[in-house]
Amino acid sequence: ATVFAYNKQKSYKQERRLLKEQKEEAERFDSLLDKKSKLQTEMYLWSLYHIDSDMQEREEAMEELDTEKQEHEKDANAKAKLLKEAKKQASAARRQVSAAEKKRVKLASAVDELEPSIIKNTEEIKNLSKKVKMDEKQLTKTKKEAETHDQTFAALEKEIAEYKETLVELESDYEEVKRGATGPDQVTLTEEQEAEYERVREAAAAASDKPRRKLTLANRKLSNARAKAANLAQEYEEVKNRRDEAARDVRSFTERKEKLSESLDKTKKDLTKTERELQAIQKSAQEAQMRREQLDTKIEDINVKLRDAKDDRRKNKDEERLLQAIASLKRHFPGVQGRLVDLCRPTQRRFNLAVTVAAGKDMDAIVVDTKQTGFDCIKYLREQRVGTATFIPLDSIQVPSQDNLERIRGMTEKDGRFRLAADVIACDETVKRAVLYAVGNTVVCDDLDSARELCFGNGGSRSGQSSQSRLKAVTIGGAVISKAGTMTGGVTSEDSSRAGRWDERELVQLREEKEKLENERAELDIASTEDRRGSRGAALSHATKIEELRNNLGNLRNRDQYSKSDLEYTSKQLKEKTALLASTEKQLTKLQKQVDDAEKEVESLNKSVNDAIQEVKEAEDEHLGPFREETGLQDLRAYEEAVGKSRDDFNKKKRSIMEHITKLEQQKEYEANRDFKKPIAQHEKRLKDRKAKLAAAKEKQKELLEDVADAKAKLADAESVVKEALDKEKELEEDVQAAQTAFNEAEAERVRVSKAINAAESAIERLRSKLHETLQKARVEEVDLPMETSEEDPTQSQRSTRTSQRSQSSQTDDEDDSEEEIAPLTQGTTTSATQHFSQAEDARNVRERRNASKIDFSKLNPRLKQRLSDREEKKIRKGFEDQLAKVAAEIEGMTPNMKANEAFDKVTQTLKDSGVDFDKAKADSRKALAEFQKIKARRTKRFNEAFNVIDEALKTIYTDMTKSSKHPLGGNAYLSLDDTEEPYRGGMKFNAMPPMKRFRDMEQLSGGEKTVAALSLLFAIHSFRPAPFFVMDEVDAALDNVNLRKVCNYINRRSQTDFQCIVISLKDMFYERSQSLVGICRDVGTNSSKTLTLDLQKYDEVQDEETTAASSARGQKRSRSSSTSAGSRKKRSSSESAGTKQ
């Protein structure tokens, strides 16, 4: 009761607070409406004032721009002539440069052609000079040898005699040394044998003389062959270097040729591209002009259609806000389809008004897929404070049945005057239910008489139709006969406006198409710098581009000619270098062959030297062999060792002397047979020929150098001519550039002025359109503008107009006058952009200016009349719009309750009365709380008593059940409460710690440990309120033998004093410790169960360690167990356990 009274009083307070807010909101709503009206009036006065001022300024600026444009056109024409003359002179200079460059290239080619001949001649002179020097040196050497020939021969004879005397002395010395060195026990040669030995050795030396001379000759030939191979290798390297240099030249010229070819190909491509661009720009100029004319024609056609349709409709801010809200809903909720008016349309234009009246306000409703989507949309609109809307959920609306529609369709299809409203509406199948919901079974009639006939019958009474078969009829003119029989006629302006919304779609499409065409027209104007009244600017721009492309074309052609000349010269040089490379390659191959032959010769001579050495050895063995057999001195080496070093020295010296004597004798024989006249004659003849060739080569070199000097002089002259022509061309190009710059500046000024004129005309047109839109918007938004009461001077700068709300009941003459005043304002928006307010002959402009001259601007704040910049003007306009938007948002978000003041007083009195009831309820609540606290305390006390007893018993029992010889202290178990204040409202935790194990949750204990803990808790609870006996069904299933023994011992001990147990088990340990057994088995004879009992107290004679358990078991009152015959008690029972007891 207290809560009810409190909530009742709270609800009254909330209602009072809400009514107070509504009261304040109603007062604020009135003030906001006044504020909005003043802001709108001030904003429109400010806009119209500045529009009128801007139009006057634009007209004055137009006259100045026209004069300036004529002056700039004259200046541009003059500078265009100067530019044309300068380009003509520059073209002539380019031709002169081209001719001079051709001549220079030709002379450079001639100089380059002489260079290989000079190089070849220089190399020839160098080789001849080198060979002449070698021949002269050889001739001098030969002559010197001829002069000293006699002296050399006498010296050789004298030297031979001296060496023979030295040999005799050496032999005598050796004999003395041998006699002193030979012992008595050694095999020695007699004197005759020694002499024979010497003779044999001399004979062997003589016999080997010829092979030795052959060996010497072979060595000499080998040396000459090696020298020849070295010379050939050196010449091979020189030719190879020349070959590499020629190859580098070939690669260089090849790369240059490739680059020139690429440059030539690129130049040709640029030529082709430039020619195509020239053709394309010419074609583009023609196409742009044709497209511009087509766009002008289409825009004019659309303007005519818009004028015919009186395109003066404007959406107010509420409708724009609603459309924005619908777009937002579509983004947030996929089930939103849109407004019904946007999702359907009449099949014919004449049904627009009938469909609008038939659907009523549902035509503005929003179609959604489900009811939940509608709730979500309503919630979204409320949160965003964007207004209200009606929603049609497709899944829950009720529509006329198909049978009913077919019945009405069959009844009306015979008469062409009637048709179902649903049949004259075209829509998608997904929104067909929404259309049926909006129009129902309404019938569209041609006129009111046919509608009356349908609803009331021919007799004019309604007796012909039952109440259930009555129809709603709507005429094409908008009259309605409801199902109740009421008739409504006439059409309001709102109905006409709503019926014309489908026409507005077409007008919107026309406006969008017009905007696209105007944008395309503007892009063409920007691209071609064309003014809006002709194509002169575009033609001039295209002409400039064409002239530039033609100049580029001429330059590319000159570059093509230069590249061809250079490519021809490079190809010629490449051909010569390629021939030189082939020649050196051929010579190199020949030299390689000669080098290989020389190396083979060296190898052959090496073999000959080895063969000669072998022949010398064989000749010596031929004489020394018999001597060894005759003397019995088989080992000449031992003899030699006995003789010792003296013998070696003697032989070495003697051999050296003999070889030298032989060599001197051969040289003497060579000198005696030598002829010096023939070699000297050959050397002189070869030297004379080479000197003659050298002189001829030098003479040819002189001629070539003269030709090169002459060609280089001509080339220098040609280069100076080219330089002068280039300087002149550069000067003329600078003149052309200056003239082009001057022309471009003049043209830019002309274009700038033309653009300024276009901009001014566009600005005037925009101002006229802006004036019209502002006045129309003011009429639509019902803004009261202050009007002048008396006629003013027409020269005043302040002009005014007034929008008036015309009522539906105005007289025909007044409506005609109003239409006559509005028509100029509407038609003014489609006036050509080239017309402005200075055209006094335009009657429409005159009428529009006359309509704009009636507004009183005296009430406008002087601060707002000041001329402002665009940024400041935008700032002020934004300030007005922000204030209006803020005020409108506040108004839109307000739902004022005009009866809030009266309701507020009533709720205040009711609130005072509810205070007494609340105080009484609080007193009753305090009494009930006191009684509750007493019961709560008693309940808590009883619970704690039971909990404490069970907790203490649990600790003792768990310790006894887990105690053993290894763990005399046993385990630990305890209970804990989640809420000690009100324990019966919270949970209880049971924790057990087996012996020698750490604390852990019960879920982590093993199955046997959980069983022991559960039995402990069971026995502890039993200790608080003991039961007569326990029945345990296979509680030992998860226990091992150790834990099973502990449980058995504990039950044995407790059963003697506290309780009785009946245990159903499969374990032998329970059987052995029980007082009696009961078994269930099958009686085959009777085909039924049979009971077997056994008293175990007769068999209590067991071993000593079981005596204690048996004596404790005698104190039990009764313990029974059921066992199975399969694997339970093998010693005492073979019956099958069925899990029952007796």
Q: How many Å apart are CA 562 and CA 108, to the nearest integer?
A: 13
Q: Which residue has the higher pLDDT, 237 or 826?
A: 237
pLDDT at 910 over 60: yes
Higher-pLDDT residue of 489 and 1001 is 1001
From CA 496, how far away is CA 477, in angstroms rounded?
10
**pLDDT confidence of residue 461:** 41
Looking at residue 537, its pLDDT comes to: 41
pLDDT score for 1109: 46
The pLDDT, as a whole number, for residue 831 is: 34
pLDDT tens digits for range 1083-1114: 888 888 888 888 887 776 554 445 554 444 44
Instruction: Report, as an integer, the average pLDDT of 1000-1009.
Output: 86
pLDDT at residue 187 above 80? no
Question: pLDDT at position 952, please?
Answer: 92
pLDDT in tens, 925-937: 888 888 888 888 8
Opening angle at CA 656, ends 650 and 657, nearest 5:
90
Query: Band of the pLDDT at 495, cuts 50, 70, 90?
Result: low
Q: Cα–Cα distance between 832 and 845 in angstroms, integer?
A: 12
Contact 892, 387 (CB under 8 A): yes
Looking at residue 156, its pLDDT comes to: 77
CA distances from 815 to 587, 803, 809, 810, 821 (A): 118, 14, 10, 7, 10
* pTM: predicted TM-score of the whole model, two decimal places: 0.28
Cα separation, 829 vs 311, whole angstroms: 9
What's the average model confidence in pLDDT over 415-432? 87
**Where does the pLDDT of residue 1127 fall: very low under 50, low under 70, confident under 90, or very high at 90 and above?**
very low
Answer whether 914's CB lies under 8 Å from 9's CB: yes
**Closest listed residue to residue 128, CA positions, set 701, 680, 706, 704:** 701
Non-local CB neighbours of 556 within 8 Å, separated by 6+ positions: 267, 270, 271, 274
pLDDT bin (cut points 50, 70, 90) of residue 366 is very high
Rounded mean pLDDT, 830-834: 34
Highest-pLDDT range among 517-521, 713-717, 727-731, 943-947: 943-947
**Phi, psi values for residue 788, rounded to 5°:** -75, 140
Residue 366 phi, psi dihedral angles, 5° rounding = -100, 130
Instruction: In whole angstroms, give the CA distance from residue 775 to residue 855.
Output: 11
Is the pLDDT at 599 greater than 70, yes or no?
A: yes
More confident site: 17 or 465:
17
pLDDT bucket at 530, cuts 50 / 70 / 90: very low
Helix axis angle, 870-892 relative to 2-147, nearest 10°?
Answer: 140
Percent of the chain, pLDDT > 90? 2
Burial pattern 863-880, b for ≥16 Cβ within 10 A else e, equals ebbeeeeeeeeeebeeeb
What value does the mean pLDDT take over residues 407-413? Answer: 81
Query: Is 50 exceeded by the pLDDT of residue 838?
Result: no
Q: Percentage of the chain surpassing pLDDT 70?
A: 79
Residue 329, pLDDT > 80, answer: yes
Mean pLDDT of 204-225: 80
Distance CA 498, CA 362 (A): 12
Bigger pLDDT: 144 vs 1079 = 1079
Give Cα 647 distance to the centre of its chain.
102
> Is the pLDDT reported for residue 11 higher than 70?
yes
Q: Residue for token digits 């060792």?
A: 641
Residue 362: its pLDDT value, please?
86
Tens-place pLDDT, residues 232-244 = 888 888 888 888 8
Question: Measured between alpha carbons, how far is 49 from 865 in angstroms, rounded to an integer?
Answer: 7
Nearest 10 degrees: Cα torsion 445, 449, 450, 456:
110
Please say if the pLDDT value at position 645 is more than 50: yes
Digit-coded pLDDT (tens) for 249-299 = 888 888 888 888 888 888 888 888 888 887 887 787 777 778 877 877 887
Q: Who contacts 573 (Cβ-Cβ below 8 Å, separation ≥6)? A: 112, 253
List the one residue out of 278, 276, 280, 445 whose CA is nearest residue 357: 445
* Ramachandran angles phi, psi of 470, nearest 5°: -70, 145
Query: How confident is the prediction for the chain on average, in pLDDT?
Result: 75
pLDDT reading at 355 higher than 80: yes
- Please count the helices (runs of H) and the strands (runs of E) in the chain: 26, 17
Q: How large is the average pLDDT for residues 195-215?
A: 75
**Confidence class for position 1014, pLDDT limits 50, 70, 90:** very high
| End-to-end C-alpha distance for the chain, whole angstroms | 60
Among 94-103, 128-137, 462-471, the range scoring the smallest mean pLDDT is 462-471
Q: What is the DSSP letter of 805?
A: P
Q: What is the mean pLDDT of residues 678-684?
A: 77
Residue with more model confidence, 298 or 375: 375
Task: Give the pLDDT band (50/70/90) at residue 839.
Answer: very low
Q: When comparing pLDDT for 169 and 191, which is higher? A: 169
Q: What pLDDT shows up at residue 798?
A: 39
Q: Is the pLDDT of residue 1122 over 50?
A: no
Amino acid in the structure at residue 984: Y
pLDDT score recorded for residue 392: 92
Angle at the Cα of 637 from the Cα atoms of 635 and 638, rounded to 5 degrees: 70
Q: How many CB atoms lie within 10 A of CB 533?
A: 13
Task: Tokens for 223, please give them.
Answer: 């040396």
Task: Please determine, for residue 1125, whether its predicted confidence score (pLDDT) is greater than 70.
Answer: no
Question: Can you give the pLDDT at residue 190?
Answer: 57
Give the count of beta carbons closer than 10 Å to the beta carbon of residue 744.
Answer: 15
Say which residue the tokens 């997904």 belong to.
430
* Residue 212 to residue 831: CA distance in whole angstroms: 132
Bridge pairing between strands 366-368 and 336-339: antiparallel
Count the neighbouring beta carbons within 10 Å of the beta carbon of residue 437: 21
Q: Which of 354-368, 484-498, 698-712, 975-989 has the lowest mean pLDDT?
A: 484-498
476 CB-side CA count, 13 A: 14
Question: What CA–CA distance (Å, rounded) separates 624 from 617?
Answer: 11
For the cut 70, the answer to whether the pLDDT of residue 847 exceeds it is: no
- Residue 66: pLDDT over 60: yes
> Which of the residue ranges 53-62, 1011-1020, 1129-1138 has the most confident prediction, judged by mean pLDDT?
1011-1020
pLDDT exceeds 50 at position 610: yes
